[in-house]
Structure 1
Amino acid sequence: MLKIAFDSIYAHPLPEGHRFPMIKYELIPEQLLHEGSINTLNLFNPTALDESTILLTHDQEYWKKLKTLSLTPAEVRRTGFPLSEELVRREVVIAKGTIDCALFAMKYGVAMNVAGGTHHAFTNKGEGFCLLNDIAIAANYLLTKYLAKKILVIDLDVHQGNGTAEIFQNNSSVFTFSMHGKSNFPYKKERSDLDIELPDKTNDTLYLGLLKETLPRLIQHQEPDFIFYLSGVDILETDKLGKLAVSKSGCKERDRFVFEYCKKNNIPVAVSMGGGYSPKITDIIDAHCNTFRLANELYF
């Protein structure tokens, strides 16, 4: 059974003015339920993450500043959100959802978090709408619990996974792969284990060609026993921030290739949804829902 992490806190409470496109977190499960792609048994509500697990990834001083709401004004501006107790709890619940998805993926092959992909959160700072790095937290949890020995992070959001790269820069147990827009945020990139920088207006042919050339080689060389996949849909040509030119069908083919390759190699995969900023919310929802539809079609 496809297990999907979702909680209403994913979309609430966020300040007025930040609601779009955050409302997608409510609309994705609603659409999937409405069309019959999933039922309520597929959904589960993650709880809050315990502090000890957060501190496997993030500095104690940084976590203290988050939970006591004592980030400096400059640090708050870097995150892009006004800091609040509810916002911090949202990040804590999202991170727990990704851990839960990793455990479900080990049982079922794949599991998905409606939110997550907070890859701009560093060990000791947040930026780009990310406070805690859910994939990094979940990867460290699996390693600490001896549930995985080698993890591959496939980050296909249009923005580089700079926080994830920094967190694992000296950890040979996690291989970070980021394929992202060269001229896009963050403008000062970190060094992933493998970065592929894409020029503006990259189309389906170039995008999919690079992915299909790279991923099989990575899996063969790295031999991961677990994969985290960040499936941002901000690569779409309709995205107002992405600068690329991938079609919705190209984005769907990207997801299909990742899933098929994970399944072919018997590697469990946990998916975090990442970004999507097309002006029409229907474009965002449909592209994200394609990821869920494909997972259900290919695995169940």
Structure 2
Amino acid sequence: MSLPLVFHDDYSPLLPPGHRFPMEKFRLLRDHLVACGLTTDQALLRPELCPTDVLALAHDRDYVDRYRSGDMSREELRRLGLPWSPQLAQRTVRAVGGSLLAADLALQHGLACHLAGGTHHAHHDHASGFCIFNDLAIMALSLLEKGCVGRVLIFDCDVHQGDGTARILEHVPDAITVSLHCEKNFPTRKARSDWDIGLTPGLGDADYLKVVDNALNYLLPLYQPDLVIYDAGVDVHRDDALGLLKLSDEGLAMRDSAVIEHCLGRDIPVVGVIGGGYDKDRALLARRHAQLHISAAKAWQRHGLR
């Protein structure tokens, strides 16, 4: 068996021309991984829609119902940053199902990756920053409720703090939230994660990777989680439109490899989601996101996973 990868054709609904959210990156990521021979379209695992009861583990039920039906106020849509449509609503619920499927596969096989996910700005009762439902929190709460894990650690390397995740899981002691983010970036008002590692603007490969290594060398033995949820945001890249850090392509690849190796080297399963990334060149952006899956595929072979 090859590395489990999760994707669905629902992931790239059309947005109005010129919209700044790169919705097509999910489709382009799939296309790139197929073109480079890492997978085939037939081998990609297609998720079901996430049940409403599971969404409600992390979110207010009224908010879930109103979003799914399109009963959103103008202010709510402004805060979200995306126009509502039935296609986007279905994509949103499907993508949470994709993260849940990837997490289950990681527990079965040791490693799995989603070609989407990482919606860490979604809060209990409202959307924010292009994030509607918080798949990171939903994964953690669902797995804990089912007894699949006793403790889960979320290692969020998106350039922006995972404020929604931190607030949703604030009182869940067995869901450890770690946010490694640029301190001078969105959101202006930060939440309080279990571990917030604020980075100075302009940080490059060597210093960033040292922080990653130090954090995981300390946190993984401390908590000994049954699963690590890894948000591999590429908005830490030096050319990202919304990031303020200075990682190179090589730095991204080294980061992803390091996180996966830290986990697998301690026999801790890890599930990867792609997180944020913004560039007018959508194909280039998709190739940045692909570093996660390429690094994971190499680790899959290196560790003899099956």
Alignment TM class, shorter chain as reference? over 0.9
Distance 1:166 1:19 in 2: 26
Partner of 1:36: 37
Tell me the CA shift for residue 74 of structure 1: 0.7
Of 58-67 and 110-119, more deviation after overlay is shown by: 58-67
Partner of 1:214: 215
% of aligned pairs identical?
36
1:263 aligns with 2:288: no
Tell me the CA shift for residue 19 of structure 1: 7.1
Partner of 1:135: 136
Q: Are the equivalent residues in 2 in contact too, given 1:235–1:244 (CA < 8 A)?
A: yes
Partner of 2:195: 194
Q: Secondary structure at the match of 1:42?
A: coil
Q: Are the equivalent residues in 2 in contact too, given 1:239–1:279 (CA < 8 A)?
A: no
Tell me the CA shift for residue 198 of structure 1: 1.0
1:156 aligns with 2:157: yes
Q: Secondary structure at the match of 1:21?
A: coil
Q: Are the equivalent residues in 2 in contact too, given 1:4–1:44 (CA < 8 A)?
A: yes
Partner of 2:97: 96
TM-score (norm 1): 0.96
Distance 2:51 2:21 in 1: 29
Q: Partner amino acid for 1:18?
A: H
Superposition map of 1:108-147 within 5 A: 108-147=109-148
Q: Secondary structure at the match of 2:154?
A: strand
Distance 2:38 2:87 in 1: 31
Partner of 1:277: 278
Q: Partner amino acid for 2:7?
A: F
Segments of 4+ in structure 1 off by > 6 A?
A: none
Distance 2:122 2:240 in 1: 22
1:240 aligns with 2:258: no
Q: Secondary structure at the match of 1:254?
A: helix
Q: Are the equivalent residues in 1 in contact too, given 2:25–2:283 (CA < 8 A)?
A: no
Please list every run of 5 or more consecutive structure 1 residues that lacks an aligned counterpart in the other structure. none
Distance 1:81 1:87 in 2: 9
Of 79-88 and 228-237, more deviation after overlay is shown by: 79-88
Tell me the CA shift for residue 225 of structure 1: 0.5
TM-score (norm 2): 0.95
Q: Are the equivalent residues in 2 in contact too, given 1:133–1:163 (CA < 8 A)?
A: yes
Q: Secondary structure at the match of 1:111?
A: strand
Q: Are the equivalent residues in 1 in contact too, given 2:118–2:231 (CA < 8 A)?
A: yes
Q: Partner amino acid for 1:17?
A: G
Q: Partner amino acid for 1:25?
A: F
Tell me the CA shift for residue 280 of structure 1: 2.9
Distance 1:56 1:32 in 2: 33
CA distance change for structure 1 residues 255 and 84 in 2, over 3 Å: closer, same or farther?
Answer: same
Distance 1:152 1:192 in 2: 11
Q: Are the equivalent residues in 2 in contact too, given 1:11–1:19 (CA < 8 A)?
A: no
Partner of 1:105: 106
Please list every run of 5 or more consecutive structure 2 residues that lacks an aligned counterpart in the other structure. 302-306
Q: Are the equivalent residues in 2 in contact too, given 1:94–1:115 (CA < 8 A)?
A: yes
Distance 2:33 2:98 in 1: 19
Distance 2:204 2:43 in 1: 34
Tell me the CA shift for residue 39 of structure 1: 2.4
Partner of 2:304: none
Distance 2:228 2:95 in 1: 18
Q: Partner amino acid for 1:103?
A: D
Partner of 2:77: 76
| CA offset digits 1:93-147 (Å, max 9, x no partner) | 0000000001111122111111110000011111000110111111111111100
1:204 aligns with 2:169: no
CA distance change for structure 1 residues 52 and 74 in 2, over 3 Å: closer, same or farther?
Answer: same
Distance 1:40 1:79 in 2: 31
1:165 aligns with 2:171: no
Q: Are the equivalent residues in 1 in contact too, given 2:232–2:275 (CA < 8 A)?
A: yes
Tell me the CA shift for residue 26 of structure 1: 0.8
Distance 1:20 1:257 in 2: 28
Distance 2:129 2:95 in 1: 16
1:6 aligns with 2:11: no
Aligned-pair Cα RMSD in Å:
1.3
Q: Are the equivalent residues in 1 in contact too, given 2:28–2:283 (CA < 8 A)?
A: no
Distance 1:282 1:203 in 2: 23
Distance 2:15 2:109 in 1: 33
Q: Secondary structure at the match of 1:96?
A: helix
